[in-house]
Structure 1
């Protein structure tokens, strides 16, 4: 597996653990459809959080969340509503939110985690 893929998977695992520790239930991972992929779907109380995970070994080339421009955020919103339509049993009665988690560090298992809620 290429380094960036294993780094990404390790970052997603760290993000999922962070979310679980914060009281979220992880209900889906790496959900795919014809329009793309959602890294993590997490539920806490009345919120379904569609979570994009960005993992970097350092901030040498900028913050990981800088990669989330308007085009990518719009795509995440489209995917969020597609996921909600495909999972009405989970989404019903909850508001959908798009979040991002940045994992930064040479070893994602112990890297710094930042959770940004409510991307527009």
Structure 2
């Protein structure tokens, strides 16, 4: 397996554990609709949370969360719209980012950014 894919899966596993440990219910992992994908879809306090997980081994080019650009936000919004429709969800939604930054010794910093953005597509 490619090293960057393994790193991404590790980050997603840590993000999932973090959400579960802080009271979120995981509804879906790596949910896809066509070419669209949402890393984690969680539920807490009647809110569906669409979560993008970004994992990096360094921050020389920016923090992991900096890589959730406007294009990625638009794609997440499109996927969220489909998920909301399929689930017939009438309540609130939120878009979070969880960034996982590993150092050379395999230690990591996990940052959960709640309500990180609101895509203009919705």
Verify same fold: TM over 0.5: yes
Unaligned stretches of 5+ residues in structure 1? none
* Paired residues of 1:80 and 1:98 also in contact (CA < 8 A): no
Unaligned stretches of 5+ residues in structure 2? none
1:23-44 Cα deviation digits (max 9, x unpaired) = 1001100111114111000000
Aligned counterparts, 1:1-120, within 5 A: 1-88=1-88, 91-92=89-90, 94-106=91-103, 111-118=108-115, 119-120=117-118
**Alpha-carbon shift at residue 117 of structure 1 (Å):** 1.6
TM-score, normalisation: structure 2: 0.87
Q: Which runs of 4+ in 1 moved over 4 A?
A: none
Tell which has more relative contact order, 1 or 2 (C-alpha 8 A, sep 6+): 1
Q: How large is the Cα RMSD of the aligned pairs?
A: 1.6
Q: In the aligned structure 2, how far is the partner of 1:110 from the partner of 1:76?
A: 29
TM-score, normalisation: structure 1: 0.89
